[in-house]
Structure 1
Amino acid sequence: MAEREHLQDAEAVVAELRGALARIGVTLPSLGIDPLSYDGRETRVLVELGRCNVETARRMAAALPGPETDR
């Protein structure tokens, strides 16, 4: 995969995650591509989730599956 394709893939994932979070009422204002991880040479582009307040963290935790109870 070419360097530009890695960046486009990461941008698509960010958009997908932003949409999924919006469906559960969560907005991460800092969600985006970590500019320090993409310098045009490195193919590992990182997604920056950023910080969030306690209420946002609570909403995200509530939206994730809980522990399996039948183990």
Structure 2
Amino acid sequence: MTPPSQKPSHPRRTPQANAPAPQAEHPATARIQEAVDARDALAAALSGAGIQLPMMDVRTPWPDTEGDDSARPARYALVHLGVCSAPVALALAAVIRNGTAR
């Protein structure tokens, strides 16, 4: 990180009139963002209930490949909840049980 008193060594780029227009978001990117948003919402809800899973991640499968070395982006993304200790699993079960009892 550059200290505030020093200027970065590379100049800041400004948009140019002939710069290409931003491309529309790729569908795979939207699916990954959806999974990231879901992971963050779940983590916030769990945190509000006093539960923290040690490792929550977003994962995608390997890209689909066809015989001609072309790869299509993954069709989906998954929220990976990782592993947790027995006490955390019991606390999570209690929160779910309490929530469904309403």
The two structures share one fold, judged by TM-score above 0.5: yes
Asked if the contact 2:28/2:76 (under 8 Å) is kept, the reply is: no
Please state whether the residue corresponding to 1:20 is helix, strand or coil.
helix
**Larger of the two Rg values belongs to structure:** 2
> In structure 2, do the counterparts of structure 1 residues 20 and 38 end up closer, same or farther at CA, with 3 Å as the change threshold?
farther
Question: Which protein has greater RCO, CA pairs closer than 8 Å, 6+ apart?
Answer: 1
TM-score computed with the length of structure 1 as normaliser: 0.79
Q: Pick the structure with more helix per residue.
A: 1
Q: Pick the structure with more strand per residue.
A: 2
> In structure 2, do the counterparts of structure 1 residues 62 and 54 end up closer, same or farther at CA, with 3 Å as the change threshold?
same
Gaps of 5+ in 1: none
TM-score computed with the length of structure 2 as normaliser: 0.57
Identity of aligned residues (%): 24
How many residues matched? 67
Name the counterpart of 1:60. Answer: 92
Deviation string for 1:16-63 (max 9, x for gaps)?
Answer: 0000100111111211112x5264711211111010001100100000
Name the counterpart of 1:41. Answer: 73
